[in-house]
Structure 1
Amino acid sequence: MLAFSDLVRDSRLKTRFSSKYTQHVYYVSGETPRQRKVRREERWERRESLGSGSFGTVWLEKLTAEHARYRAVKEIRKIQRGSNTISYGRELEAIAKFSHEKYELCFVKSYGWYENDASVFIAMEYFPNGDLQSYLSSPLPEKEVQQITFQILEALSFMHENGFAHRDLKPSVRLPWLFLNILVKSKSPDWWVKVGDFGISKRAEDGLTALRTFSGTPGFLAPELLVQNGLLDSNELKFGNEYTTAVDIWALGEIVFRALTGQAPFARSLGAYIRGTSPFPVEMMLSNDISGEGCDFVKSLMAPLPKDRPTAPIAEEHTWMESLRPSSPRSSVEFER
């Protein structure tokens, strides 16, 4: 039995399973002394699969009530192929932490978790608009990419200051692993995105920023991860098997570059760029009429060495982000999301 924090234990849902639905029973505070403790019951019907991967499946479920609503439920199988047991405690801790009202502006909200002998289930906010990847088949307007970028930076700032690194930030659920990452609550022209899935988020223990395990999605992995795992050659990045929250900043740079250009920045030349024999592909952004400030911003996020990348709070202060900051008159609509 895993040892959970109080936060995780308090978010567990009392649950009964049947062949037709999942039932939750919980108690809420009433408005009179005789109704001080009011029993509530919910029954959820499974409708369809929203996606699946090596760890499990995400399901769409509908509440069987007069005012029906939907939720997404992530099912994580406890035992994987080869009899490997999945450690899901850190995911439960992260999603419970960032479902607090202080953070729900930036993160997919969890409604609690439950389990049976075979699986753990995490009930989450459902996003009919899907994931960000669905909107990146062609370049987005620069001002819209600025909105999206600032919102992701807000989320990363919260994560990093609370000792979490995401390590698999990307715009899509349709990639090798089942990770809901950037979901779209409101789309163009007034974007609202949220960061989700903490399946491979890692909390830095004892105040350390070094993270030692390898995880992530090919195409969004920082070069230090590729070098440390033998997938890229660079003497400059051969400094052991540790990496920092700077891996998330690189991944954000990948997302922003693709949103601005509709293309990946390093289809073939990443090794040359890391070794200093090939420049950053600024011309790809300039050919899409991206401003000089935008080019400089993305280039800073994708600096070859982790120490040269800005932290999330510093990136929020870049001139390309100026119109989105609370002090800017132009940001008033943005902060009314």
Structure 2
Amino acid sequence: MDRFKMIKEVGDGTFGSVWRAINKQNGEVVAVKKMKRKYYSFEECMSLREVKSLRRMNHPNIVKLKEVIRENDILYFIMEYMECNLYQLMKDRVKPFSEAEVRNWCFQIFQALAYMHQRGYFHRDLKPENLLVSKDVIKLADFGLAREVTSVPPYTEYVSTRWYRAPEVLLQSSVYDSAVDMWAMGAIMAELLTLHPLFPGTSEADEILKICNVIGSPDEQSWPQGLSLAETMKFQFPQVSGNQLAEVMTSISSEAVDLISSLCSWDPCKRPKAAEVLQHTFFQGCTFVPPTVRSKAGVLPKTPPCVGVKGVSEHGMPRRYSTGTLSTTKPHSNASLKSSGLSKTGHPVLRHSRSLPETGRATMHKVSTLTERLSHMSVTSRTRTTPKPAAPLLKAGLGKSDLLGKTDEIPPAKRLTRKLVFV
């Protein structure tokens, strides 16, 4: 680690801390993620899910794990530099992003998801904090929960921040796939276009209620497997009819509403694949640029990923980096990193602290007609709750306990006081 000069600790979480650092050999700014637990063998490092996932992916819209170093039984991730995340961009805005901006970002994200899914991985933890932005370029980050599609279920119950969690996960299905990423992207798209979370549940039961209020309750025709899951849990869906998404998002184009509606389908089998989403009319005029199409000289065309969309500014696409190395080094090692060509200025990579309870995200978004239309979606006040025994029959919206019989600790309402860090 002598090759890196630690500038400033920018975040601290349950599993690790993140430092802004400079590669002393080439002046490159990087983010160094230092894990808190000890790793006594090279095999332990190799078995980490985040390491395995990122080392197998090389895409311009997936954050690059440049190097993994084990030194004195301490594990360090050397990550590429990005300026901020989507949540940080949203929190200070007064007006929603334009559809051109959302189109540009989402087209890049769906390209990355198509790349992942076609290679047998799905992310499982998509949320604005895990989408890192530098100028017009956006990248997926935090693959700590990523799964191989070929891995054997049952999977873990906790997946993603509740507001972006697919209903099959909320109902504790042990078998799910890349469709959970598609649901999360539908919720993220809606939030970018309105600056309001689409399903801001305060517990798992309340999350189901929020979903029903927007897209209507499922039935035997729309999601028979979901009714079976609910029956197994002795959970009763609220009876809410009709699809209210178009009524809620009145200022959004019909193409955007149609795409979000398909992504947020109760039945995971009815959600489009990432590759299919790229062909949706909402992305008409966007041009896919394969990762292998790059200038031989390393100078990239200054064309945004979403070509021909009015209002999208031009920018330089990120350079395609060589695969990072996984190494075990000794103190005072003089081994050099390869130059990656990243910008030498900017801010460290920041992410949402996993040390906070899984209660969604505090928000300061201004009240608009969206909140007025959905009274249940108010997120302006939050109180700490006390666990209570689960009732024999749960009904969405009638109790504070979640479906797992646990109650989240919810921080008091503040103006975005949570700490954004890497973990």
Task: Note the C-alpha offset of 1:329.
Answer: 6.6
Q: Is the 8 A contact 1:77 1:118 kept in 2?
A: no
Name 1:197's counterpart in structure 2.
142
Q: Is the 8 A contact 2:132 2:141 kept in 1?
A: yes
Q: Partners in 2 of 1:299 and 1:148 — Cα distance?
A: 19
Q: Partners in 2 of 1:157 and 1:168 — Cα distance?
A: 16
Indicate how the Cα distance of structure 1 residues 75 and 211 shifts in structure 2: closer, same or farther if over 3 A, else same.
Answer: farther
TM-score, normalised by the number of residues in structure 1: 0.70
Name 1:281's counterpart in structure 2.
245
Deviations 1:133-169 (A, max 9, x none): 1111341011100001100000100111111110001
Name 1:126's counterpart in structure 2.
81
Indicate how the Cα distance of structure 1 residues 326 and 116 shifts in structure 2: closer, same or farther if over 3 A, else same.
Answer: closer
Q: Does 1:182 align with 2:126?
A: no
Look up the equivalent residue of 2:127 and give its one-letter code. K
Q: Partners in 1 of 2:68 and 2:200 — Cα distance?
A: 40
Q: Does 1:212 align with 2:155?
A: yes
Report 1:137-176 matches (<5 A).
Answer: 137=91, 138=93, 139-172=96-129
1:314 is aligned, of 253, 259, 276, to 276
Q: Does 1:73 align with 2:6?
A: no
Q: Is the 8 A contact 1:113 1:122 kept in 2?
A: yes
Name 1:37's counterpart in structure 2.
none
Deviations 1:284-312 (A, max 9, x none): 321xx211101111111111111111110
Deviations 1:182-211 (A, max 9, x none): 11121xxxx2101112111111227x7x66
Name 2:360's counterpart in structure 1.
none
Q: Does 1:248 align with 2:181?
A: yes
Name 1:175's counterpart in structure 2.
none
Q: Is the 8 A contact 1:274 1:304 kept in 2?
A: no
Look up the equivalent residue of 1:44 and give its one-letter code. F
Name 2:22's counterpart in structure 1.
62
Q: Is the 8 A contact 2:127 2:160 kept in 1?
A: no
Q: Partners in 1 of 2:67 and 2:169 — Cα distance?
A: 33
Task: Note the C-alpha offset of 1:335.
Answer: 9.7
Look up the equivalent residue of 1:250 and give its one-letter code. W
Look up the equivalent residue of 1:275 and give its one-letter code. S
Q: Partners in 1 of 2:23 and 2:277 — Cα distance?
A: 41
Indicate how the Cα distance of structure 1 residues 77 and 86 shifts in structure 2: closer, same or farther if over 3 A, else same.
Answer: farther
Deviations 1:252-275 (A, max 9, x none): 111111100000112352245462
Q: Partners in 2 of 1:110 and 1:304 — Cα distance?
A: 34
Task: Note the C-alpha offset of 1:76.
Answer: 2.5
Indicate how the Cα distance of structure 1 residues 88 and 114 shifts in structure 2: closer, same or farther if over 3 A, else same.
Answer: same
Task: Note the C-alpha offset of 1:90.
Answer: 2.1
The farther-off stretch of 267-276 and 290-299 is 267-276
Q: Partners in 2 of 1:211 and 1:316 — Cα distance?
A: 30
Which SS does the other structure have where 2:169 is aligned?
Answer: helix
Which SS does the other structure have where 1:253 is aligned?
Answer: helix
Which SS does the other structure have where 2:155 is aligned?
Answer: coil
Task: Note the C-alpha offset of 1:336.
Answer: 6.5
Indicate how the Cα distance of structure 1 residues 274 and 247 shifts in structure 2: closer, same or farther if over 3 A, else same.
Answer: farther
Which SS does the other structure have where 2:266 is aligned?
Answer: coil
Name 1:236's counterpart in structure 2.
none
Name 2:399's counterpart in structure 1.
none
Q: Is the 8 A contact 1:74 1:122 kept in 2?
A: yes
Q: Partners in 1 of 2:49 and 2:123 — Cα distance?
A: 11
Name 2:7's counterpart in structure 1.
47
Indicate how the Cα distance of structure 1 residues 326 and 291 shifts in structure 2: closer, same or farther if over 3 A, else same.
Answer: same
Indicate how the Cα distance of structure 1 residues 89 and 151 shifts in structure 2: closer, same or farther if over 3 A, else same.
Answer: same
Q: Is the 8 A contact 1:300 1:309 kept in 2?
A: yes
Name 1:223's counterpart in structure 2.
167
Q: CA RMSD in A?
A: 2.8
Deviations 1:211-238 (A, max 9, x none): 622322221111111111xxxxxxxxxx
Which SS does the other structure have where 1:330 is aligned?
Answer: coil
Name 1:13's counterpart in structure 2.
none
Q: Is the 8 A contact 1:204 1:211 kept in 2?
A: no
Look up the equivalent residue of 1:46 and give its one-letter code. M
Indicate how the Cα distance of structure 1 residues 326 and 167 shifts in structure 2: closer, same or farther if over 3 A, else same.
Answer: closer
Look up the equivalent residue of 1:258 and give its one-letter code. E
Q: Partners in 1 of 2:101 and 2:33 — Cα distance?
A: 30
Look up the equivalent residue of 2:197 and give its one-letter code. A
Name 1:296's counterpart in structure 2.
258
User: Which structure has more helix as a fraction of its residues?
Assistant: 1
